[in-house]
Structure 1
């Protein structure tokens, strides 16, 4: 009689966590490597444009040196905070108002029929074109600057929310009603979760529009801000200062965008995603 030797076989539950951890680490390493490669490509293009002598295009070292000077005097941080504060207030107010408005427009066809033409009309008018009107009506303080940013964020988010409500699968709504759910329950448990990806995409677009608008908004008698500093530097053809402010706007906006993207991933875990 021979003894049977059994070798331990790893069960799927034993392998899966290790495999998922390895795959996750590999994806993170790959993204970091691609991010570094992207930064190097951008730096190479910048150096190539500088060496080509494109209308006094500043070198990376010149811009870095100017950034150090502005940081040392505190001007860079003062301007960054002034612009960030305006964007945060305008973007937050615009998004908070846009989401309920988008839900109402999407859920009630009669209200949508009445107000959608106005929404589309104002969406076609660039927020920057309203600057002269805001100066006349609101003066030259902080209110008109924040209002212009608010308008840019609101129009992007309300359209995205409206589209999100209209894109909800009717089968899901009908199935919930067949199971006895009332309109309020259907709205909260079906429409809101299904619309969340659209809302967050609209907020990301609105955030970009807010930063694009803040530069022009700070033309309204501002005393500090990245856009204000760029306008001052333009008068003296101070390209390094302009580049410092451009990079600052891009970096701050990128961080804010990634925060919204992180919130999107957490709020829409139920959604199937393509592995990347």
Structure 2
């Protein structure tokens, strides 16, 4: 057992992590240099960090952050939760594909941000239209990824399962779902990015709380440090959530060979 675990355990790539740290430090250094060269138009990392501390101490940052995070998580869960089973149905059953694919492709050509005014008119200015638009953005990305994952399952594996007497349910559970998982996880990661982009735009139009609202209000007063705080927070939250999905991907697809 110990020998098996030693074979499957991957060595730590210290050079890879060192390059990542160096990239972050280099980016911060370039940002600082640009702020020194343009002190009146571009706040530096120290100024932004100081402003973030001020917003954190008076509780403003936490309120806006939690509001945006709740909207993103709720919309992402609803959209992806609907997209994955429907994507499986589209890929596995041709009648479902014939019914759902035209509508999926139709709405994919419409940016979710273009639907925000319509959602506000139909659903009001509360949380419902914001979550609905976020759900749609995550849904469209995830359903296409899941559908494509099912279509790309090796037909040889499916035929081999049928030759061995496996039912469609067994084939679906043992072959289609595992083989489609890498595509699904890519779709979830892209859907998460779409959710963050959509929530910020929704908060710019109609919101009283949220990072997008905070940035819009700061724009009125030309408060560049606060705008940068919002940008950095969104980027960090998106990065952390993406790392969580990437970890889940590595666990769910541990059978897959990786470079």
- Asked whether the two chains share a fold, i.e. TM above 0.5, the reply is yes
**1:122-137, aligned counterparts within 5 Å?**
122-137=107-122
Counterpart residue number, 1:165: 150
Counterpart residue number, 1:7: none
C-alpha spacing 1:60/1:195, structure 2 compared with 1 (3 Å): same
Q: Could you tell me which runs of 5 or more consecutive residues in structure 1 were left unpaired when the two chains were aligned.
A: 1-11
Give the root-mean-square deviation of aligned CA atoms.
1.9
TM-score (normalised: structure 2) = 0.95
Query: C-alpha distance in 2, partners of 1:52/1:175?
Result: 66
Q: Could you tell me which runs of 5 or more consecutive residues in structure 2 were left unpaired when the two chains were aligned.
A: none
Counterpart residue number, 2:34: 49
| Runs of 4+ that moved beyond 3 A | none
Query: C-alpha distance in 2, partners of 1:64/1:247?
Result: 10
Residue 227 in structure 1 maps to residue 215 in structure 2: no
**1:117-266, aligned counterparts within 5 Å?**
117-266=102-251
Displacement after TM superposition at 1:53 (Å): 1.3
Task: State which drifts further: 263-272 or 107-116.
Answer: 107-116
Displacement after TM superposition at 1:198 (Å): 0.3
Residue 38 in structure 1 maps to residue 26 in structure 2: no
Query: C-alpha distance in 1, partners of 2:122/2:63?
Result: 28
Residue 98 in structure 1 maps to residue 94 in structure 2: no
Secondary structure of 2:73 counterpart:
helix
Displacement after TM superposition at 1:108 (Å): 1.0
Q: How many residues align?
A: 258
Cα deviation per residue 1:55-97 (whole Å; 9 max; x = unaligned)? 7011111111101100111111111111000000000001100
**The structure with more radius of gyration:** 1
Query: C-alpha distance in 2, partners of 1:44/1:50?
Result: 10
Secondary structure of 1:117 counterpart:
helix
TM-score (normalised: structure 1) = 0.89
Counterpart residue number, 1:24: 11
Displacement after TM superposition at 1:114 (Å): 2.7
Displacement after TM superposition at 1:32 (Å): 3.1
Query: C-alpha distance in 1, partners of 2:204/2:101?
Result: 31
Query: C-alpha distance in 2, partners of 1:20/1:179?
Result: 30
